Amino acid sequence: MAARPLPSEHLDALVRELSPHCGGDEVSFPGADFDKLVERLATIRKMVAVTEREVGALRLAEVARSGRVIVENLATEHLQHMAEDADGKIVRPDFGRKG
């Protein structure tokens, strides 16, 4: 499957097409050409929005991975302190059973 052009490549093409019109006092386009220009810009905007969401998801996944390690370390430390008293004896939790 061929790779799709990047939004920057689409924008480069638009800049190349529009550059000859720079510096003029007035620029005119046939209505159909202007409609195509707006359509292309809308497509590029959608491509960029998808890329932004993807990057955001990847960043959240990375933060979640880091957070899991921190939470695991804190939980392990907390459980170790709960399981041993000051004399190093194992403390058995009482879950409400009457003996």
- CA-wise closest residue to 18 among 36, 42, 3: 36
Is residue 95 one of the residues assigned to a domain? no
Mean pLDDT of 20-33: 86
For the question of whether the overall pTM of this predicted structure is more than 0.75, the answer is no
Is residue 5 one of the residues assigned to a domain? no
- Which structural domain range is residue 73 located in? 32-82
CA 41 – CA 37 distance, rounded (Å): 6
Give the count of domains, the chain.
1
Mean pLDDT of 22-51: 89
Helical spans, DSSP H, in the chain: 7-18, 31-83
The whole-chain average pLDDT of the chain stands at 83
